Amino acid sequence: MKIKLSGIYVDDQQKALDFYTDILGFKKKQDIPVGEFRWLSVVSPEGGDTELSLEPNVNPIAKTYQEALFEQGIPITAFEVDDIQAEFRRLSDLGVKFTTEPTSAGDVTLAVFVDTCGNLVQIYQLGAG
Amino acid sequence: MLTKNQLIRLCSARDQLRDVGYAEGSIDEVAKSVAMSRFHFVRQFKAVFGETPVQFRTRVRLDQAKHLLIQSDDSITDICMAIGFSSLGSFSFLFSQRFGRAPSMYRQKLRESGEILSPDCMTIMRGAWESDSQISRSTISPE
């Protein structure tokens, strides 16, 4: 058994694709039309083959779950970075809004930003605490 | 930085904008209700939700129209009015732009095809793998 695919809900798939590729820097992997929706996923350009699927939150249950996490300030997922201060500056310069600046938490430093698609996303750097 | 309080106020604004009963041109009122100037509100809303309040409200209304078209037998005009549009022309134009066909055609096609209106992720995944898009899937794989 492998972890090859993970997913997050987004409120608009095209908006999500733009953010996760143009702003975060991921690469589009799958883009298959299914009716008016898409099976859409991105991968990291830095290696690894785990795909992140960007799933429409059209199911009311998905929307409720997504919005509750967002309003409580809870990130929906987390990505590891090599230099969290540099990522914080890069993303801030691109207009990304952070709810938590890089903050030391023991042996890890973490930050949280808004992905413009209804989610909070955490980034973390190991060994930077 | 976006504070917890600002995030909650923006979520409250989003909930208000989702209310189709809200009158056109009420962005000022929504901004005021969350204690922000219109300028600051529009900028913050776009930075957090990726679209302006007007774009968000339009998208939500069109999604609601889509559901009404499938789940009711109401006329296109009634649906247009129910979701807060005052012009049938604007509604049809924006609906076609978002969903690729006019409201009446959309209703006819979805009813004929039996397509699921709110599919879950497993349904979409299965649909993707069963689709005839095998070629496009291989062509978009990263080099």
Q: Which two tokens stand for residue B123?
A: 């349904």
Going by C-alpha positions, the residue among A12, A10, A46 that lies closest to residue A26 is A46
Nearest CA in chain B to A9: B121
Identify the residue with better confidence: A37 or B111: A37
A107 to chain B nearest CA, in Å? 24
pLDDT of residue B57 exceeding 60:
yes
B105 shares contact with chain A (CB less than 8 Å) = no
Window from A55-59, A100-104, A122-126 with minimum mean pLDDT: A55-59
Q: Which residues of B touch A103 (CB under 8 A)?
A: none
Distances (CA, A) of A46 to A27, A79, B91, B123: 10, 12, 44, 30
pLDDT of residue A103 exceeding 90:
yes
Nearest CA in chain A to B52: A116
Q: Say what the pLDDT of residue A13 is.
A: 95
pLDDT of residue A111 exceeding 70:
yes
Q: Give the residue-averaged pLDDT of A1-21.
A: 95
What are the backbone dihedrals phi and psi of residue A91, each rounded to the nearest 5 degrees, phi first? Answer: -70, -40
| Residues constituting chain B | 143
Give the count of beta carbons closer than 10 Å to the beta carbon of residue A2.
Answer: 6
Instruction: Give the angle subtended at the CA of B116 by the CAs of B94 and A54, to the nearest 5°.
Output: 75
Q: What digits encode the pLDDT tens for the residues B86-129?
A: 899 999 999 999 999 999 999 998 888 766 677 777 788 888 87
Q: Give the residue-averaged pLDDT of B39-52.
A: 96
Q: What digits encode the pLDDT tens for the residues B121-132?
A: 778 888 887 775
A16 Ramachandran zone, left/alpha/beta (phi>0; psi -120 to 50): alpha
Residue type, A6: S
Q: Which residue of B9, B46, B118 to mutate against A (max A Cβ within 10 Å)?
A: B118
Give the count of beta carbons closer than 10 Å to the beta carbon of residue A61.
Answer: 11
- What's the CA gap between A127 and B131, in Å, rounded? 45
Q: Which residue of A71, A74, A76 to mutate against B (max B Cβ within 10 Å)?
A: A71
Q: Decide if A117 contacts A111 (C-beta within 8 A).
A: no
Query: What number of CA atoms fall less than 13 Å from residue B8's CA on the CB side?
Result: 5
Q: Say what the pLDDT of residue A128 is.
A: 64
Q: What digits encode the pLDDT tens for the residues B2-42?
A: 999 999 999 999 999 987 655 655 899 999 999 999 999 99
Q: Give the domains, in start order, of chain B with CATH numbers.
A: 4-113 (1.10.10.60)
Average pLDDT of chain A is 94
Instruction: Give contacts of A 78-107 with B, CB under 8 A.
Output: 95, 97-99, 101
Q: Decide if A70 contacts A24 (C-beta within 8 A).
A: no
Going by C-alpha positions, the residue among A85, A66, A68 that lies closest to residue A128 is A85
pLDDT of residue B133 exceeding 80:
no
Q: Give the domains, in start order, of chain A with CATH numbers.
A: 5-126 (3.10.180.10)
pLDDT of residue B135 exceeding 60:
no
Q: Give the residue-averaged pLDDT of A80-106.
A: 97
